[in-house]
Chains A and B, each alone.
Chain A
């Protein structure tokens, strides 16, 4: 109700001050960025930080609306069906590329119903184990997984979560077998990893960095191409056990299909500025990530990434469900 009230207030304020200030040009009214996940989660935090910086640049309120449910596919559908005028946008992560194979009842096509604005951040992920797990490093881990550690337990935050996607990619790329143990969210899964109830997990560094630093869990590898600043001593999977392995919980902004190119370019330019904001950089760093470079925060770069991820997950998840 507070949100409704706030929206109404802001709408009223715009009506009073609007016409003379923003005649004819976009944006002339508040923009809503929909986050299809609960308020306060990592995606929501990313959205709020970016929205605040974009507000300053665009000279209009940028509101965040949280529409949770069905792994994010519900809220995403709402943006797919919104009018393509640049006033309703979607900010979410890699999950959008997996909705097709995961949710057969989807009333829209993630691959076709959106136009790109740009990438926001690549959140690195870390492969971690309980602290008393035998293998000392990541090479030893994969040897172990192929031998006596076959079928080791691997916690995830539920089907379709980035931790689950990482596990599917690992089993596929390394030819190993894992016993996937799904949880409702990262918190309970981390609890069981720290408590030694499960063997492994692969989650966004946002969720693992604290426990790694405290020595509660054992870091094996990061999943990005290069090592990351907050965990410089941890090797990448690509440089050790699995050549070419790369997965990140990338976040991006989309607009409904048919949003004019000019508007998307304007948003992309604003996003690029927002990602250079020192406050955004600082807060992202606290989340264990960094903004993408300016050339990635563009429609073209997101188009490319999104299409390749759609293809990759379409194949992987189809295999998984027929297994």
Chain B
């Protein structure tokens, strides 16, 4: 009952005309920056931070949060339409989303992303309202050893990201891991594979890599085929989901929401894992895993729900403990401080209107996003009918500007060219870019946490087995391998990998 009165207070705060308006501005701006690859929520929030000085704290935070989850939403649009993921989470959406668009099903793909995100956002907001403090406590028990075990589990189940040869998928993961080691080592500060380029000390820019490997490589491939856009895309069938589609996305959306909500709470990279994990899970559970990578609607529904749920629950450590889970949250902490509020456990009791107002605004924001995005689907899909010779220079230009704007660093733009060519070569060799990206994202996290766990345990490797949470995760990973090796399941697994093109 207390919850109801809290929520009532929250909605009372969030539903004032001013707050609804700025919430709308936030999600709109967020969607727009999400759609443009490279210009991420971090840069946008930083730019808009000074504007919010004159707002009341609750209005400022409602708008800034709106930008963040709005961007998660917008990112999927370009991933689906032109294979250009701007963030690690939408990279997974690009795999099947873009194939759906090629099959003329861009409308349903976008609608799935919108509906899945809305559902996941609503549920995750509810979780945030009901269970934020206890969940934050659980997340605190998640140390380096647990993180390492979780990542091992993630990599074990993720080979299914590829469709095609297992050997090639493994090779791509390894290549990704290697690319991920470029830059200054977190533990010792030693520069690795920087080849004298000072620009590489911070590692390879994710956006350069993703835009090059997915977007630009795809452009090269398309240009090779025809100067016209390839057949199929201009014949857009229906914009909306069929009854069959609804039936197919229900499970993935539910599971994605669950996975995303849990992983989003973890510090330092949980939200990145969410969409990868959801995709792997859906491919494992599917009766027709061979459809994955060829436009399976489940491959859009699961990851999209997962990343939106994670976006919401990543507010939990911030709002309850005052600890930012990732850079965007650190910015939002900055906004709190500039407003004279110290984020932490006290916010909930000292500023109930603020705390519950932000939570209520998230639900309103998610609703606004659906209202905003569903009518836009038709417009986006029309974009596909633009002649390719006009479209591709625009894509390249926007991607380059976006990439440059992250650090104002021309080097990141050159990197797009390099990865575009590499990506094209890999496509010609029949290798998938998705596992490479997975290795690139998870590799550094894996190494960092392994070494951190070993440092903390003073070099004792049994730490992974003596900590119960870590041990359970490793056991789960082992179980996955065993199941995969069991003969009955093996037959099915072979089917997964047989579909060599």
Contact = CB atoms under 8 A, between A and B. Distances in A.
Given A191-B139, A214-B346, 10 more contacts: A1-B405, A3-B43, A4-B405, A38-B327, A74-B409, A103-B191, A184-B268, A187-B326, A187-B330, A191-B140
A216 B456 contact: no
B125 to A, nearest CB: 22
B143 A197 contact: yes
A194 B324 CA distance: 13
A175 interface: no
B405 A185 contact: no
B447 to A, nearest CB: 12
Contact of A153 (B198, B334, B456): B456
A27 interface: no
Contacts of B198: 70, 73-74, 77, 103, 105-107
Given A191-B267, A194-B323, A211-B344, A40 B199 contact: no
A10 interface: no
A213 B186 contact: no
Contacts of A216: 321, 344-345
Contacts of A194: 140, 321, 323
B428 interface: no
Contact of A2 (B47, B268, B326, B327): B47
A102 interface: yes
A69 B407 contact: yes
Contacts of A45: 334, 337-338
A66 B407 contact: yes
Contact of A197 (B144, B407, B448): B144
Given A39-B331, A69-B202, A210-B344, A1 B39 contact: yes
Contacts of B166: none
Contacts of B140: 191, 194-196
In the A-B complex, the 3 residue pairs with the smallest Cβ-Cβ separation, listed nearest first, are: A39-B46, A159-B189, A195-B140
Given A40-B49, A197-B143, A211-B322, A287 B337 contact: yes
Interface string A194-220: 111110000000100111011010000
Contact of B267 (A66, A187, A283): A187
A240 B50 CA distance: 41
B141 interface: yes
A214 B322 CA distance: 10
A191 B265 CA distance: 12
Contact of A188 (B43, B268, B345): B268
Most buried by A among B42, B46, B458: B46
A1 to B, nearest CB: 5
Contacts of B329: 187
A195 B408 contact: no
B162 interface: no
Nearest to A206: B337
Given A70-B199, A187-B323, A41 B330 contact: yes
Interface string B194-222: 10111101100000000000000000000
Contact of B201 (A70, A180, A184): A70
15 contacts: A2-B47, A40-B45, A40-B49, A67-B408, A69-B199, A74-B202, A103-B191, A153-B455, A158-B189, A159-B184, A179-B456, A181-B452, A192-B143, A211-B323, A286-B337
Contacts of B36: 1
B154 to A, nearest CB: 18
Contact of A3 (B45, B143, B186, B405): B405
Most buried by B among A102, A192, A211: A192
A44 interface: yes
Given A48-B49, A191-B140, A283 B199 contact: no
A158 B317 CA distance: 21
